[in-house]
Structure 1
Amino acid sequence: MRGLLATSGAAAIILAFATQNLLGGVIAGMSLQISKPYKVGDWLRVGEDFAEVMEINWRSTRLRTNDAIYLDIPNNEIVRQTIINLHYPQQLHAMRIVVGVEYSAPPNKVKDALLQATLQAEWVQKEPPPRVFLKDFGDFAIYYEIKFWMLSHENYNNVCDAIRTNIWYKFKRQNITIPFPIRTLEINRKTITKPQELHNQTKAILEGEPLFSCLTGDQVDHLIRGSRTVRFGRGERIIEQGAEGASMFVLLHGAAAVSVSQNGSMIRVSSLRMGDCFGEMSLLTGEKRTATVRAEEDCEVIEIAKPAMAAVLRDAPECVTQLSELLAARKMETEGLPKDLAQSAAEETKAREYRATFLRRLRSVFEL
C-alpha cells in the first residue's frame, strides 16, 4: 500500500511539472500571438544566434540560421530572453565590422579606403550611407569600425565577405597593412638631417619664396635642419585666427583653406596647395594669427620655428633690412598701394615708416 502511494505521489509530481511546462508554453504562446514582437520571415537575434522566424505555434518558435540549422525554442523560454528583431519596425537595419590597421597609416586615409570598399560591396545600402569610426588603439593595431546598412539579414555572410574582400584589395593598392599580433622593439636615434628628398623639396620651395631670397644655400639648409615635419588630418586647424604664433609653415603635401572671421562668420578667402607658405607674419613680427588655416585633406607641413629663424638671422644680419623692406611692401599692397606704381611723397614717407617699424619688430622678436 505504501509503495502504491509513493508511486502515485511521484507520478503526480511529474504530471504537475509537465502540466506546468505545457501551460507555461501555451500562456507564453498566447502572449506572443497577442503582442506580436515578431512574425514569420523576421530575422531575430536571440542570444548569440541570428535566425529567421519560420513558424510560431502555441508551444514553440522555430528559427532557421544562415547555415540552415533549425532552432526549436519553447515559447516560455524565448519570452525570458532579450529578443532583437532586425526587421522591426522595418527591414532596413545596421550591422558593424571591425578591422585592425597598422599604426603608421594615417586615419583619414584608412577611413576613406574602408568607406570605398564598403560602398562597392553588393547588398550594402547607399542610404543611409556607411560610416567608419576609429574605435580603439590596440596593442599592435588601430581598430576601425564600419557601420553599414542592409535589408535582409539572409545576406549578412555574403555582405561581410564582399566588404572584407574589397578591403584586402583596396589596402593592397594603397599600401595599407593589416598587422599581425606582434611586438616591435623600436630604438630611437636622433636624426641629424632630414631625408634628402624631403630636404631638397623644402629647400626648393624656400629659395623660391621672396622672404628667403637673401639667404645663401647653406643658410637655407640650416633653417630646414632646425625645422620639423608635422602632419594634420583633414578638418584640423593648422593655425587659428587670433592665436599667438611663433612659427611659419610650408605645405609639402595636401590642401588647406584660409578663412577669416567677420561678424561672427568664417569667410573663406583663399586656398593653399603644395609649395605654399603661410604664417610668416606671426613668425617675423610676433603678431597674432590674422586668419585660420584648416586642412581640407591630410596635410604634411614643415614648421619653421622662431629659434631656427633667429639662428639664421644672427648669421645674416643684412637679411633683417631686406625682410623689413619686403614686409613694408606687403603692408602697402594690402592698403591698396601696389609697389610697382610711382609713390607720392606722403606714400614714400609711409613706406619709410613701415620699414622702420618692421625693422624694430624684427630686431625685437629675434633679439638682434
Structure 2
Amino acid sequence: MNPTDRGMLFGLGVLLLDFLAWRFLKLSQEWARFGIRLTLFLLLSYVLWTAQISPFHVAPWADQPIRHLLAQGLEILWWLQAAQISATILGRIVLPSELHRERLFQDILRAIVFVTAAVAAVGYVLELPLGGLLATSGAMAIIVGLAVQSTLSDVFSGVVLNATQPFQVGDTVTIADIQGRVIDRTWRATTLLNNRGNFVQVPNSAAAKANIVNLSRPPQIHGVTVLIHISPTIRPSVVISALEDAVRSTTEVLVNPKPVITATGIHRKFIEYEILAYVASADKKVATQNEIIDQAHRHLNAHGICLGQEQQGGEFAGEPERLLRHIDMFKSLSAEQIAQLAGAAIRRTFSAGEMIYDVSPDCPDDQRALFIVASGVAVLLAPRDGRDIELRRLAPGDAVGRSSILTGVSAGIRLRALSSASIVRLNKNAITPLLQEFPELAKTMLNDLLEFQSREAEILREITDHETAKEGVFQKLLEGLRRLHGVAHK
C-alpha cells in the first residue's frame, strides 16, 4: 500500500473518531469537547498534507475514479470540519458574552461560516464555476422564500429581537398577555416557562409586534401593583391616607422609587385606587403584594372604612374593646373584662418621628404600660452600638409591652411613630385590679403570652433564654406577675 492510500485510510479513521467524539462524548466542559475535536482536526490536516492531498486543489487522480472520489470526499469533509472549528472560535470572539446562550445569533454565525466553507469547497475541490452556481442558488432561494414566507417572518423577527435585546434568556417577561421566564430563543420562536410550569412558544413574528414588558429590568427594581375599589361615599383623601400608611407598614417596599397611590377613576358604585410600589427582587413580589393587601385592609378599618359595606364603622376607630380583643394575651377575657380594661385605656396621637415607647429593662413598675397602635404606622427599634436597628413595623392592632405590663420583664426597645399615629395606652394599674379579682386569669394570660413570645422572640428579644424549658420560663414569668400585680399564690 502506497503512502497516499495509507494516508486516506488514516484520514477516514480520524473522521470516524471525530464522529464518535461528537456523538457519544458527553463532557460537562464545552471547551474540553472543543479541544478534542480541534486535536482531531489538526491530526486530519497533518494526515492529508503528508499524503499529498490538499483541500485547496482538485484531487490529481482523475484517471483513477475510486481514489479520486475518495480524495475529494476527504477534502470536502476537511472544509466542513474547518467550518465547525471556525464557527466555535468566532462564536466566542465575535459574539458578546451575554449572547453566548442565545441560539439564534450562534446559528446565524454558523450558517454564514458553513456557507462560506461550502462555496470554498465547491471552488477549490470540485472546480465548478461559482457564477452559475450563485445564479442558480439565487433562483432557488426565491422559490424557497415564497414557500416558507411565514417561517422567514419569524426568522427575521428573531434577528430584530436579538439585535434590540428587549429581553435575554433567564428574564421574566410579559409578551402580549403571556407571562413567563425566557427559557430558549430559536430561529422560529421564543420559549417561556409560565407560572403553571408549562412551556409556551411565542412565534418571533408575534413577539416583535406585541407589547413586551421585561419584569427583570432594571435588575433591582420590580413594580407591584394593587387595585382596590372603595365606596364613593368615602372621601378620597381619607382613603389615600390609609393606603399610604399601609404601604409604610410593608417592610419590603423600597423608599426610592417612592410608592405612588392614585385614584384612577370614579364610578357610580366605587372609586378605583391603584397602589404602585417597588421591591428589590422579583422573588419578593407575590409576598409583598399579599402583605400590602393585608395592611390595606387593616389600615382602612382603622380609618373607619370597612370594605364591602355601605355603612362605614371602623374595626378599631372608636372601639377600644375590639382593639384589645386583637391582643393575644387578652383573647381569653370575657366581654365584661375587656370592657373593664377598655374603660381604663388612654388614647393619644403622635406625630411622625415622635417617640412613643422607650422602656429599659430596669423601668420602674409604675411606668410599665401596653401600647397598641389604633391607626397609623409605628416602627419598633432596638438600640445597638449607639444606633437604633429596625426590628419591624406595627400596624393597627399591633402592640408592644405585653411582657412588661403583665410580668415586669422588659427588653430595651423603642417604638417611634413612622407616620401620624393614634396609640391606645393601657397602664399597669389598669390590669392589676382585674388580675386580683380573677386570679385564675393569670395563668391563662401567661400561656397566651408565651405562645406569642415563642413566635416573636427572635424579633422582639423579650425572651432571651432559649435554652430554658417552657415550664421554667412560665414559672419565672408567673413570679414576675405575682410580684408586679400582687396576685396571691395558689
When you count strand as a share of all residues, which structure comes out higher? 1
Q: TM-score, normalised by structure 1?
A: 0.40
The normalised TM-score by structure 2 is: 0.31
Greater relative contact order, per chain length (Cα 8 Å cut-off, separation 6+): 1
Name which one, 1 or 2, has greater alpha-carbon Rg: 2
